[in-house]
Chains A and B, each alone.
Chain A
Amino acid sequence: MSAVAWIAVGLAGGCGAVARALLTHAINVRAGRSFPYGTLAVNLSGAAVLGVIAGSGLSDDALRIVGTGLIGAYTTFSTWMFETRHADATGHRGRAVANIAVSLVAGLLAVWLGRSIGRAAF
């Protein structure tokens, strides 16, 4: 991988992280704090876009920059886990279980749907 591609992966990762923070914040302000909708929306949209990228047959470097860098940093596993534990620790076990189940089922559907679209379109 070239030096330029590495720099691009880093910058893409920074952009992905900022996009996640802004979208999560915007959604949580509107939807309230009863459920971590912000992280859910980020993760599902990112899974769908990664599916499109995986299905579209990009070059290795483009895949690293957009897939690994941008979308990999945009979506997050750690915050998903933190919010799940927080829900459970504050007495909302049902919310914690729903956060895991909905993310996993809808996430798998999103990445599959995205890949089907990517394969058909490119």
Chain B
Amino acid sequence: MLLEVRLLLAIFAGGCVGALARAGLLELAPTHAGRWPWVTFGVNVAGSLLLGWIATHRSPASRMRALIGTGFCGALTTFSTMQLELLEMLDADRLGMAVLYVSGSVVAGLVGVALGARAAPAPKPTPAPGVA
């Protein structure tokens, strides 16, 4: 499978929006070194949930998956910032927070992709006959 230009353009567009969303949230709620990084934690869990859904319901060749999955979710979530935040917690002698942050992120991320994968693509509610 070759990465086509139409997919790369979708990945680029999704990446722009994902990075801007994360940067915007960091402007609204800046994370201070050694403190609990709510923005990174939140975007990582939210992005995992959305990726679990899109990657389960669309094929890798789909432009929608390139845009929302590889582009938006990939760029909204971040591994490098999380590692730097962990290092800064260790610098500040906050070992307990570092352990909680890393284990909490991984557990919530795994639960997120699982929940996203399980969520059915919004079926129309059809009331069963005889049920009020």
Residues of A within 8 A of B (CB): 1, 6, 9-18, 20-22, 25, 43, 46-47, 49-51, 54, 64, 67-69, 71-82, 84-85, 100, 103-104, 107-108, 110-112, 115
User: In the assembled complex, how far is the CB of residue A50 from the closest CB belonging to chain B, in whole angstroms?
Assistant: 4
* A72 with B113, Cβ < 8 A, contacts A1-B27, A14-B19, A82-B48 known: no
- Majority secondary structure of chain A interface residues (helix, strand, loop or mixed): helix
Query: What residue in chain B is nearest A49 (Cβ atoms)?
Result: B80
With A and B bound together, what is the CA distance between A111 and B102 in angstroms? 15
Scan residues 1-31 of chain B and give those whose CB is less than 8 A from a CB of chain A. Answer: 3, 7-8, 11-20, 22-23, 26-27
Interface pairs (22), CB distance under 8 Å: A6-B23, A9-B23, A10-B17, A17-B70, A17-B75, A21-B3, A21-B7, A21-B70, A71-B80, A73-B15, A73-B78, A76-B74, A77-B79, A78-B74, A78-B77, A78-B113, A81-B106, A81-B110, A82-B52, A85-B110, A103-B79, A104-B102
Q: List the A side residues contacting B82 at CB < 8 Å.
A: 77
Most buried by A among B77, B80, B81, B117: B80
